[in-house]
């Protein structure tokens, strides 16, 4: 185990940020701490880095008890959301900072900086100031700076959060490739479930200071153990007292086994995808169920507004039983991404 977290708790005044967290992170693994903002994931990352002191519990890094160690003695690489670039230093100066502090010979620093700048594709910018770089370039510089000290673990706090959507996608694919090359134990914090599913080997879902579920991305997506994880990791809709993914619903214009009867209330095409609101006959007062399918399927089945239909979950669809009345409706799922249930984006 590269990082061993045991019983870590933290409160700020009367706000409980973390409640007795236990977590092991394996060497060489790329782990995502995923959850809504204010859920405690950044606090946990900062405690691992030594930038925040836990009220209770212990942190072990590479077999060394790091609980009482200050940040500068932990040998962790930390990447901040807003880059935290040293503005007065050049790109090379930024990357070489940790080595300079360690009083390495100048030649060695120069060679290592050169190597890292190549790794992050910034060689031609070595003598620029951070102000002359784009956001994505700055973040790659920050990454090279963190890697320069050959950290035992690399920690990234919402590393792509300040970037444009396109750059963000590009950079996360690049991070994945970089990790496959460098193999340093990496933990990154994100509130974007797509980012976590795309990049991580393992996802730790954190909500309200507690770990909700830990596992590989597919397992979490397919077998969520709670309503929260289910709805946080992907789109959901309500059918028969269960949460189910809208693309896991079969739809026909004729009755079939165990299918629920309804009527298409709204037909909305978004690019290749068709989103249907189905008002169920059995309970007209319930919010309509959301069904997504491809345009080709919708055309083949001649679906349109007002058409009577029958729907049921496909075999093996992930479902979570709703225990409390969830504040979800097809409306909020479809149109308001910032609703009380964290909303995945259909991109």
Partner 1 sequence: MHDTAAHRVTRWALRLIVIGYLLFLVIWPVALVAAKTFSNGLAPVIDALRQPEVIFAFQLTLSAAFWAVVINTIFGVGISLLLVRYTFPGRRALNAMVDLPLSVSPVVVGLALVLVYSGRTGWLGQSLEQAGLQVIYAPPGIIMATAFVSLPLVIRELVPVLHEIGTEQEQAARSLGASGLQTFVRITLPAIKWGLIYGVVLSLARSLGEFGAVKIVSGGVAMRTQTATLLVEERYQQFGVVNSITAYTAAFILALIAVIALIIITSLRPRRETSQ
Partner 2 sequence: MTPSPGTVEEAQQPVPTPPAGAATNAGGLGDRHRLRRAKSATSLTPISGLGLGIALIWFSLLVLIPLTAVLVQASAAGWSAYWDALSSPQTLAALRLTIGTAVLVTAVNVVMGTAIAWVLVRDQFRGKRLLEVVIDIPFALPTIVAGLVLLSLYGASSPLGVNWANTRVAVFLAFLFVTLPFIVRTVQPVLLELEHEVEEAAASLGASRLTTFRLVILPSLAPAITSGAALSFCRAISEYGSLVLLSGNLPYSTEVASVRIMSSIEGDKLTEAAAVASILLVVALIVIVVLDVISRRVARYA
Where does this chain bind partner 2 (CB under 8 A)? 49-51, 70-78, 80, 82, 84-89, 97-98, 100-102, 129-132, 142, 145-146, 148-149
Shortest Cβ 74–partner 1 spacing (Å): 11
Encoding tokens for residue 346? 């259909």
Residue 53's binding partner among partner 2, partner 1, none (Cβ under 5 to 8 angstroms by kind) is partner 1
Report how many residues bind partner 1 under the rule CB under 8 A.
5
Q: Which is nearer to partner 2, 92 or 233 (CB)?
A: 92
Q: Which is nearer to partner 2, 41 or 202 (CB)?
A: 41
Tell me, rounded to whole angstroms, the distance of Cα 11 from its chain centroid: 23
Q: How far apart are CA 18 and CA 5, in angstroms?
A: 12
Q: Which is nearer to partner 2, 10 or 279 (CB)?
A: 10
* Binding mask of the shown chain, residues 51 to 90, with x at each position contacting partner 1 by CB under 8 A: x-x----------------xx-------------------
Residue 209 β-bridge partners: none
Q: Are 91 and 117 in contact (CB under 8 A)?
A: yes
Shortest Cβ 49–partner 1 spacing (Å): 10
Residue 294 β-bridge partners: 273
Residue 131's binding partner among partner 1, partner 2, none (Cβ under 5 to 8 angstroms by kind) is partner 2
Query: In this structure, what DSSP letter does residue 259 have?
Result: P
Q: Are 59 and 68 in contact (CB under 8 A)?
A: no
Shortest Cβ 70–partner 1 spacing (Å): 4
Q: Which is nearer to partner 1, 84 or 307 (CB)?
A: 84
What does the angle CA 140 – CA 146 – CA 148 come to, to the nearest 5 degrees? 100
Q: How far apart are CA 283 and CA 75, in angstroms?
A: 59
Residue 75's binding partner among partner 1, partner 2, none (Cβ under 5 to 8 angstroms by kind) is partner 2
Of 142, 195, 231, the closest CA to residue 31 belongs to: 195
Q: Are 328 and 242 in contact (CB under 8 A)?
A: no
* Binding mask of the shown chain, residues 32 to 51, with x at each position contacting partner 1 by CB under 8 A: ------------------xx
Say which residues have a Cβ less than 8 Å from residue 12's Cβ, sequence separation at least 6: none
Residue 233's binding partner among partner 2, partner 1, none (Cβ under 5 to 8 angstroms by kind) is none
Q: Which is nearer to partner 1, 17 or 238 (CB)?
A: 17
Largest CA distance in the chain: 77
Q: Which is nearer to partner 1, 69 or 129 (CB)?
A: 69
Shortest Cβ 97–partner 1 spacing (Å): 18
Burial 175-201 (b: 16+ CB within 10 A, else e): beebbeeeebbbbbbbbbbbbbbbbbe
Residue 278 β-bridge partners: 264, 289
* Binding mask of the shown chain, residues 221 to 260, with x at each position contacting partner 1 by CB under 8 A: ----------------------------------------
Residue 98's binding partner among partner 1, partner 2, none (Cβ under 5 to 8 angstroms by kind) is partner 2
What does the angle CA 279 – CA 262 – CA 292 come to, to the nearest 5 degrees? 70
Q: Which is nearer to partner 1, 51 or 333 (CB)?
A: 51
Binding site for partner 1 (CB under 8 A): 50-51, 53, 70-71
């Amino acid at each position: 185990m590269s990082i061993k977290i045991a019983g870590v708790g933290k409160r700020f005044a009367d706000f409980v940020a973390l409640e007795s967290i236990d977590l092991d992170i394996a060497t060489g693994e790329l782990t995502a701490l995923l959850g809504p903002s204010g859920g405690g994931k950044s606090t946990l990352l900062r405690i691992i880095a030594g930038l925040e002191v836990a009220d209770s519990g212990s942190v072990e890094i590479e077999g060394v008890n790091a609980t009482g160690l200050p940040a500068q003695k932990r040998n962790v690489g930390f990447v901040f959301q807003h880059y935290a670039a040293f503005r007065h230093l050049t790109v090379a100066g930024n990357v070489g900072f940790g080595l300079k502090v360690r009083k390495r010979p100048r030649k060695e620093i120069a060679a290592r900086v050169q190597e890292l700048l190549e790794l992050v594709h910034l060689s031609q910018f070595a003598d620029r100031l951070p102000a002359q770089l784009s956001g994505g370039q700055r973040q790659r510089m920050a990454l090279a700076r963190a890697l320069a000290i050959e950290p035992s673990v690399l920690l990234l706090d919402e590393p792509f959060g300040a970037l444009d959507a396109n750059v963000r996608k590009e950079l996360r694919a690049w991070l994945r490739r970089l990790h496959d090359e460098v193999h340093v134990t990496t933990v990154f914090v994100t509130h974007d479930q797509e980012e976590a599913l795309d990049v991580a080997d393992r996802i730790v879902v954190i909500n309200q200071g507690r770990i909700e579920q830990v596992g590989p991305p597919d397992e979490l997506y397919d077998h969520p153990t709670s309503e929260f994880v289910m709805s946080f990791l992907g789109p959901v809709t309500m059918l028969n007292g269960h949460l189910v993914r809208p693309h896991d619903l079969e739809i026909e214009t004729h009755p079939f086994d165990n299918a629920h009867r309804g009527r298409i209330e709204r037909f909305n095409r978004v690019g290749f995808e068709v989103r249907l609101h189905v008002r169920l006959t059995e309970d007209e007062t319930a919010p309509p169920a959301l069904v997504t399918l491809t345009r080709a399927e919708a055309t083949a089945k001649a679906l349109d507004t007002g058409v009577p239909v029958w729907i049921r979950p496909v075999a093996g669809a992930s479902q979570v039983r709703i225990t409390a009345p969830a504040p979800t409706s097809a409306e909020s799922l479809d149109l308001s991404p910032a609703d009380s249930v964290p909303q995945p984006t259909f991109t």
